[in-house]
Chains A and B, each alone.
Chain A
Amino acid sequence: MKFGKRLKKQIQETLPGWQDKFLSYKELKKLVRLISAAPRLSNGSMDYGKAEAEFVYLLNNEIDKFNLFFMEQEEDFIIRHKELQQRIKRVVELWGPNGSMPSERDYEEEMAKIRKAIVDFHGEMVLLVNYSNINYTGLAKILKKYDKRTGGLLRLPFIQKVLEQPFFTTDLISNLVRECESIIDTVFPAEEEAERAKEAKEAIVVAGEGILRNTVAALLTMQEIRRGSSTKSPFSLPPLNLPDSELIKSIQLNAAVPIL
């Protein structure tokens, strides 16, 4: 499957609500085709310059779009992260075993909700990182295509610029994700391995929807995209080898749930 199609498919399956926030790969590809098909005049450097400038202009628009969206989401996540922590604190202090009004039932109920909230929050952040990565990949690909078709030298310097863009510097989000993981460890009760394995089978069906579905789809698509490049070069990523890919595939994928 070609990247463009895979991209579309993944967007549909994982984050349909974000569809227009992704790279307009198809349009850019059309433009590249247009540019390369146009006859090149001998003294047409001006035309060529124009065409390239237009291409760059569009790319820049896309990058702006990514940056804007990414930073909005990032800000939201930062806020929610803090709020979750506060919430846990409140619940523990209020209904926890050492709290002011210990109530196991309320505590458990709240904690269950919190657990779900955290896991979903974690998932959303990961999906944002995925968003960033997919767009980057798309940009790299379209630039490569451009250079190939038009003999231009756009790719290298442009991609350097992209690497510094806010939407690609996902360190902050990754840190939040890791923090989230450590919070989750504290919030989840300890389990034994055997019991886990048994429950896991039943859990698979239950977890067929929601954020999990989105992340599973994202993983699978990632694997596909990296399956093997027809144009291998040192700039290509190696194929992705996921352990437990069977487990992942066995998860039923229903319709994607939009993240609002």
Chain B
Amino acid sequence: MEARPAFSIERSSVKQLTNMGVSGALSSSLPVLPTPPEEKYPKLPDSQQATAEKELMTRPLTNSSHLNSSGVVGHLFSSSPGYSTDLHHSSLSPHEKHSRNAHFISQSLSNMGSLPLLYSSNNEPLPSTTSSHYSKESSALWNADSLSSFLDFPVNTSIENSQVENSASTIMASEEYCKRNEWHDWADQLISDDETLTSDWNDLFVDNNIPDLEPKVTSQVSKLSSQFPGHQFKGQQVVSAPSGENCAIAPPSSSANSASVKPRMRWTPELHEAFVEAVNQLGGSERATPKGVLKLMKVEGLTIYHVKSHLQKYRTARYRPETSEGSSEKRVTPVEQVSSLDLKTGMEITEALRLQMDVQKRLHEQLEIQRNLQLRIEEQGRYLQMMFEKQCKSGIEKFKAPASSLESPSAAASEAIKDSPAKSETEASKLDHSKTEPEQAKDNITMEESSPPKEVGEKHNAPETKVSENSEPQPHAGEDDTQPSKRQRTEE
């Protein structure tokens, strides 16, 4: 791992610097590097790193998507998945960052050759050591000088140093950053929270994205708003001014930010209709330009990138059917086409299609049912957990009251289950069955409404009220450690 030796070098030199004198330029591209305690870094197991890297390599999409995990500054390391609507990035830990950083670092290191350290005290020019790479960028460095004020955060681990080095290679990119107002926001983040790695950092390592940084920033905002508040981006969602909020400083919104990823918007038929109208007004899919369409559509939050990619898809979709009618279907079932058309009559083809439709309809039906079931299951689980928490909080005396009320809502819920298609009957019956077995807190712990209050009263947190949640016993059973943890294991 080339990263390793580099790090050790840096570490020693870092010690020479009191203030991590990251020059302005360096800091510019450095969103806060995680300042994991030094011992963490050496612990990074090779295998894990290798796997992480391998996964990183095999998941190019991931990289880019993490580029979006912009400034979820404070939240990147909490490992508890308690976010409501966060994108997943929010639960990154220093550990992963390490592996990612290491990956990126090794990448960039290989690009840059051996980097003597760029460390300099604030505002000092970089020693124009090694590669011409640097000399090219030294001018760029000064552009970023204005950002030197951001550098006051302590940078004290080797990783940060190496990232500093790496940033030099991406100074070009940082130039663009300079231009953007979000930079100031990021700087605040950097200063305030030194544990996070903003996605800018990752962005810098994605080659093809660097030129597109600026425009993509704006699209990130729309992506952000489209993904978080709800899954359906109707195009009318209010998107705050791109420049202001792009970094997604607000913890809940974690995506957006980096321009590296193609912004992912969720199209709807209505939106598409508006799009088609605009295109037709402009004279057809060939003549329409993304800019024109964007203007005509007048949809807030829609960016030119969205339109561009959509237009491309639209053109392809139209082109294929028009060149040879039906050829787009042919590509899907080439063999069938030949055999069926040549040998069978039109009638049989129709019949075959009908059969196909039947099967497909059935599959779809089953999928919908299954999905509803899954939703309901989780809903109930959530409901039960809520009830359980309420009970625990309210104490023993109130137990008898909730216990009876617990019966009716959950009974109602199981009724609802019974009403749904036959497939769910087995499940409802399972629940009913378990109701009559209050004592058996074994593998089939399910809703336990009829647990006698007296029994419940024995244990304060009432693990005996067999809620089918793994999570409750742990936080609430403070006094009763063994039982909840045991239950946790046996609960399925």
A170 to B356, CA, bound (A): 22
A165 contacts chain B at the CB level, 8 A cutoff: yes
For A211, what are the chain B residues with a Cβ–Cβ distance below 8 Å? Answer: 332-333, 356, 360
Given known contacts A50-B93, A123-B356, A157-B82, A242 and B362 CB-to-CB distance under 8 angstroms: yes
Interchain Cβ contacts under 8 Å between A and B, 28 examples: A53-B79, A56-B81, A57-B88, A60-B87, A60-B89, A63-B88, A68-B264, A76-B313, A79-B310, A82-B269, A115-B353, A120-B332, A120-B333, A121-B329, A133-B371, A153-B475, A155-B470, A158-B81, A161-B81, A161-B85, A206-B339, A206-B348, A222-B366, A222-B367, A234-B377, A234-B430, A235-B377, A257-B332
Residue of B nearest to A24 (CB): B55
Contact of A74 among B85, B267, B346, B357 (CB under 8 A): B267
In the complex, the answer to whether A83 meets B317 with C-beta atoms within 8 Å is: yes
Residue of A nearest to B98 (CB): A50
For B434, what are the chain A residues with a Cβ–Cβ distance below 8 Å? Answer: 234
B237 contacts chain A at the CB level, 8 A cutoff: no
A215 contacts chain B at the CB level, 8 A cutoff: yes
A211 to B351, CA, bound (A): 15
Which of A108, A130, A218, A235 has the most C-beta atoms of chain B within 10 angstroms of its own C-beta?
A235
In the complex, the answer to whether A53 meets B366 with C-beta atoms within 8 Å is: no
Contact of B357 among A27, A184, A244 (CB under 8 A): A184
B350 contacts chain A at the CB level, 8 A cutoff: yes
Q: Which of B328-364 contact A (CB under 8 A)?
A: 328-329, 331-336, 339-340, 344, 346-357, 359-364
In the complex, the answer to whether A170 meets B371 with C-beta atoms within 8 Å is: yes
Contact of B232 among A87, A155, A172, A218 (CB under 8 A): A172
A154 to B474, CA, bound (A): 12
Contact of A160 among B357, B367, B382, B423 (CB under 8 A): B382
Chief secondary structure at chain A's binding surface: helix
For B344, what are the chain A residues with a Cβ–Cβ distance below 8 Å? Answer: 202, 206
A93 contacts chain B at the CB level, 8 A cutoff: no
B152 contacts chain A at the CB level, 8 A cutoff: no
Chief secondary structure at chain B's binding surface: helix
Minimum CB–CB distance from A29 to chain B (whole Å) comes to: 14
A58 to B273, CA, bound (A): 37
4 shortest interchain CB distances as A-B pairs: A60-B88, A53-B93, A210-B333, A113-B326
In the complex, the answer to whether B363 meets A222 with C-beta atoms within 8 Å is: yes
Which of A116, A136, A156, A204 has the most C-beta atoms of chain B within 10 angstroms of its own C-beta?
A116
A200 contacts chain B at the CB level, 8 A cutoff: yes
In the complex, the answer to whether B352 meets A241 with C-beta atoms within 8 Å is: no
Given known contacts A50-B93, A61-B88, A241 and B422 CB-to-CB distance under 8 angstroms: yes
A158 to B88, CA, bound (A): 10
A177 contacts chain B at the CB level, 8 A cutoff: yes
Minimum CB–CB distance from B77 to chain A (whole Å) comes to: 7
Residue of A nearest to B262 (CB): A68
Given known contacts A60-B89, A126-B363, A112 and B346 CB-to-CB distance under 8 angstroms: yes
Minimum CB–CB distance from A259 to chain B (whole Å) comes to: 6
Given known contacts A188-B354, A199-B347, A57 and B360 CB-to-CB distance under 8 angstroms: no
A20 to B232, CA, bound (A): 26
In the complex, the answer to whether B471 meets A153 with C-beta atoms within 8 Å is: yes
Minimum CB–CB distance from B407 to chain A (whole Å) comes to: 16
Residue of B nearest to A257 (CB): B333
For B264, what are the chain A residues with a Cβ–Cβ distance below 8 Å? Answer: 67-68, 71
Given known contacts A54-B96, A219-B359, A210 and B336 CB-to-CB distance under 8 angstroms: yes
